Structure 1
Amino acid sequence: MADTAAADAGTAAARVRTALGSVLDPEIRRPVTELDMIGDVSVDEAGAATVSVKLTIVGCPAADTIERDVRAATASVDGVTDVTVDVTVMTKEERHALTEKLRAGRGARVQQFGPDSLTRVIAVTSGKGGVGKSTLTANLAVALAARGLSVGIVDADVYGFSIPGLLGLVGPDGAAVKPTQVDDMILPPVAHGVKVISIGMFVDDSSVAVAWRGPMLHRTIQQFLTDVFFGDLDVLLLDLPPGTGDVAISVGQLLPHAEVLVVTTPQPAAADVAERSGVVARQTGQRLLGVVENMAGLAQPDGTVLELFGTGGGAETARRLSAGQEADVPLLASVPLSLGLREGGDLGAPVVVAAPDDPAARVIDALAGTLAVRPRSLVGRRLGLSVS
């Protein structure tokens, strides 16, 4: 009888370990069992289960979430009557093994999104500030993630970083949530299913002005693309600063295969400056994906539309960027002015999830649908396969 009870307990422990395979690390987005974060698992004859959890670092911000999910998964196993979760921290050797596993043979300081990557890289740019480029980037990323894609954002607008606030990645003090660092690997915070990195996460006060020149800006963008572990992304969005300065040039050098989405407003005069950002992208070898017109007409209760910023700027930008090219640059979307879009940005609640029926939310979601189905070509890319 004792042998039978011990065998049953062993079987129960195996079932618990299987159930724990459904628990994801909130930052890495992979099962904790796969990440070797689960130590000993035991279930006694009375059904009391004890699970050892090894966090990556002391003070891991995801500790409470992991412990709660481990407890719930364990309690869901038939025969388990009680759950004890013992939380410890990985040793230095275990952390090193974890980073090596995550890199999957890719060395440290190696660009994750090179020409051979299957991740679709989309740089969102504008000729000038104040056109809602960052708001569009944040909402577009969340809309893509809601469609089941794995999405990341690099907030490359170093001087005017705003993505953490737009996605609600801020603490009670208003400072951006800090990323977790495991050895020399940075794990980006996640909001609404989107992995995010921003220079705003590395300053203690959001009001601090970042006054850097070209070389420092280039190194920062390069570090975001090498040291931050995004995992296997379907889409990486880059929120570029307005204009055609150092960051735009650096992104062109580091990600020459990126596609570029140009954001403008309906003002015909805005087409002049918007065109320049597209031209610079083309000069660095990037492909123009299309134009998005933001701040279009504001619908009135009587059904009329108030064109506060005029009309035609998006179409004119697309026309100018298409001139002399083999393929036209399309006007992909015209996003109307929306109180919900503005309020969502202020509250850190993207309108595409906070108010999906809002007119702006519907247009951005449709844009996400257009981008989500566009195939990524494998022509000329190494797939990492070998014939034995």
Structure 2
Amino acid sequence: MFIRLNCFRIIFQRYHSTKPTPHQQAMMARGLPKRTPIEGVQHVIAVGSGKGGVGKSSISVNIALALSRLSYRVGILDADIFGPSIPTLLNLRNHKATTITKTNLIEPLINFNLKCMSIGFLTKSDGAIVWRGLMVMQAIEKLLRQVAWSPLDYLIIDLPPGTGDVQLSIAQLIPLSGVIVVTTPQELSLVDVRKAIEMFRLVHVPIIGIVENFSTYFCSKCSHEEKIFGENGGQLLANEFHLNILQSLPIDIHFRRACDEGRPIIQENETMLCSKFNNLAKQIIEFIHTKQTTTIE
């Protein structure tokens, strides 16, 4: 009995290691299918983490709006099949995508000058989605290929938590211009974010940098600063993987209220968070420009 359990432990560790061997990495790289661009979409930027509850969706929405304010044509795709947040964040709850184009594509909804698509626009808003992996993959491919995205300069994809089928399928189906990794300073978050970074590198997705959310808190009454979720976690992660910290975002009650009310914070000019998201949009553009210049050379 002991021998059987020990053999099972060795096999499990071998096939479920968080860091594949060089041979496994080479095999996976060779097995990647050909990535086909989404028609009419110039750049696709993913926002991921590996960890839930770190603010990916709210950051995705405000990145998209910041790019739109710079006169780019922008869309946002909610790739979280089981817990879509984009309908709430963009004040589109209870709205349905029912219009079909002449080319048999689904017309995305439009709000704040963004083309928006989520599984929440195709199903009951209060109903649980109980699907197996194959159905989830079919839904993701439908959201990528059967939506009238064109023409777009940027499509922002809000990834679900984890490093599973959805993330791998998107990385393998379409060419991603880059991914922004979101974390909090807390070690509990960093554990999962490390796995996400390794996954993106394994499937050859360029990492634009790290956004550290919930980095600090300033009391609204006395302005006392408190590092509720820890300190320097994002910077330690950046140093570990030789990445850049793009922005550090504080805990802000106005931001939370704006998200719940479907009122993106970047619509409020002259705020500190608005400035940070504008800078983040410019960092994305600079990354894309540098990448294109390097490719041409």
Same fold (TM over 0.5): yes
Question: In the aligned structure 1, how far is the partner of 2:65 from the partner of 2:281?
Answer: 9
The alignment yields a C-alpha RMSD, in angstroms, of 2.2
Partner of 2:227: 307
Please point out which of 192, 210, 219 is paired with 2:112.
Answer: 192
**Which amino acid is 1:334 matched to?**
S
Amino acid at match of 1:123: A
Q: Which has the higher helix share?
A: 2
The amino acid that maps onto 1:287 is: P
1:179/1:132 CA distance change after superposition, 3 Å: farther
| 2:41 matches 1:113 | no
**1-structure distance, mates of 2:269, 2:162:** 31
Name the structure 2 match of 1:169.
92
Is 1:267 aligned to 2:267, yes or no?
no
In the alignment, which residue of structure 1 is the partner of 2:244? Answer: 330
Structure 2 equivalent of residue 16 of structure 1: none
**Which amino acid is 1:357 matched to?**
E
Q: Secondary structure at the match of 1:290?
A: strand
Q: Could you say which residue in structure 2 is the equivalent of 1:228?
A: 147
Contact kept, 8 Å, 1:262 with 1:292, in 2: the verdict is: yes
Count of aligned pairs between the two proteins: 258
SS at match of 1:129: coil
CA distance in 2, matches of 1:182, 1:256: 25
Match of 1:209 in 2: 128
Cα offset for 1:179? 4.5
Identify the match of residue 377 of structure 1 among 258, 283, 292.
Answer: 292
Alignment partners' CA distance in 2, 1:351 and 1:241: 22
Report whether the alignment pairs 1:178 with 2:110.
Answer: no
Give, in whole Å, the separation in 2 of the partners of 1:208 and 1:165: 15
User: Contact (CA 8 Å) 1:187, 1:228: kept in 2 or not?
Assistant: yes
Which of 151, 157, 173 is matched with 2:80 structurally?
157
SS of alignment partner, residue 286 of structure 1: coil
- The answer as to whether partners of 1:140 and 1:364 remain within 8 angstroms in 2 is yes
Does structure 2 retain, via aligned residues, the 8 Å contact 1:279–1:321? no
Q: Secondary structure at the match of 1:181?
A: coil
CA contact (8 A) 2:180 2:211 kept: yes
SS at match of 2:214: strand
User: Deviations along 1:329-372, whole A, 9 cap, x unmatched?
Assistant: 2111101111121111111110000x233332321222112223
Question: Could you say which structure has the larger radius of gyration?
Answer: 1
CA deviation after TM superposition for structure 1 residue 176, in Å: 3.2
Q: Gaps (5+ residues) in structure 2?
A: 1-34
Which of structures 1 and 2 has the larger relative contact order (alpha carbons within 8 angstroms, sep 6+)?
2
> Using the alignment, how far apart are the partners of 1:342 and 1:288 within structure 2?
27
1:358-369 equivalent positions in 2, closer than 5 A: 358-369=271-282
User: Structure 2 counterpart of 1:247, which letter?
Assistant: V
Aligned to 2:11: none
Q: Secondary structure of the residue that 1:377 maps to in structure 2?
A: helix
Aligned residue in 1 for 2:259 = 345
Which residue does the alignment assign to 1:126? 49
- Counterpart contact for 2:46–2:176, Cα < 8 Å: no
Q: AA paired with 2:128? A: A
**Is 2:239 aligned against 1:319?**
yes
- Distance in 1 of aligned mates of 2:213 and 2:193: 12
Q: Which runs of 5+ in 1 are unaligned?
A: 1-109, 323-328, 382-388
Task: Give the C-alpha shift of residue 112 in structure 1.
Answer: 4.7
- TM-score norm. by structure 2 comes to 0.80
CA-to-aligned-CA distance 1:136-158 (integer Å, 9 cap, x gap): 10111111111111111111011
Aligned pairs for 1:238-277 within 5 A: 238-277=157-196
What is the CA deviation profile of residues 25-54 of structure 1, one whole-angstrom value per residue up to 9, with x for unaligned ones? xxxxxxxxxxxxxxxxxxxxxxxxxxxxxx
2:189 and 2:126 map into 1 onto residues whose CA distance is: 29
TM-score, normalising length from structure 1? 0.62
Letter of the 1:362 counterpart: S
| TM-aligned CA distance change 1:230 to 1:314, over 3 Å | same
1:258, 1:251 → 2: CA distance?
12
| Letter paired with 1:195 | K
Q: Distance in 1 between matches of 2:67 and 2:96?
A: 22
Change (3 A) 1:222 1:367: same
